[in-house]
Amino acid sequence: MRDQPHVESRPPRRPVRLSTLVVYAVLGAVLGSVLSGVVWVLATRNPLPELTPSQLEQARRRWQQHGPASYQMTISLEPPPGGNTPESGRRIRVRVTGHQAVSVTQHPGGELPRRSWDYWTVPGLFDVLQRELENRQHPQRAFGVSDPRMVVLRCRFDPQYGYPRQYQRVVRGRGLQSRWEVVEFRPRP
């Protein structure tokens, strides 16, 4: 008798059960829903509102009516080109007593020249925002673009005192961006 080659027998394939298909379909649907939710949240998260002349004027009035005469605030400036961590940016610390700047320092760097102190007070920040709105009306001269819609100005104001808490300017097509945020604001007696 001839030796017959040994053929391994494999166990018979089990057909995929309907319940397994249902489990995979449910897992796929849940995963798809979670991913869609993440994308939706990222796409619709609360961006800064557009800066308008009327919002700026309302914030100025709120500051004039409710802003303290003495305060301390710290402003975080966007990191410089090449710096991508908050630590690589600058922080400006401002102390105001009786509506007058008494100290303005930056970290790193130390005390700023006295002639620049008023720019960093709350009224000075309002003036900067006013100039930004005016510059948007003449974007070629100010930013090198012809269409004012290429200049995006966004700002959020403090609801209690009215000071500008966050500001961002983006010039589309030019890669120009400016951003700052008041990270600490403390009225002083």
Q: What pLDDT score was predicted for residue 16?
A: 61
**Mean pLDDT for each consecutive 10-residue tract of the chain (189 residues)?**
60 67 67 51 63 98 98 87 56 97 94 95 98 94 92 97 97 90 96
Report the alpha-carbon distance of residue 165 to residue 167 in Å, rounded.
7
Q: Give the pTM.
A: 0.71
Q: What pLDDT score was predicted for residue 17?
A: 72
Cα-Cα-Cα-Cα dihedral sign, residues 184, 50, 161, 114: positive
Which residues lie below 8 Å from residue 61, measured CB to CB, with a gap of 6+?
Answer: 162
Q: Which residue has the tokens 């609360």?
A: 46
Where in the chain are the domains?
A: 12-45, 53-187
Q: What pLDDT score was predicted for residue 43?
A: 38
The C-alpha torsion from 77 through 124 and 129 to 155, rounded to 10°, is: 50
Closest CA to 168 of 127, 129, 114: 129
Q: What pLDDT score was predicted for residue 9?
A: 64
Q: What pLDDT score was predicted for residue 176?
A: 85
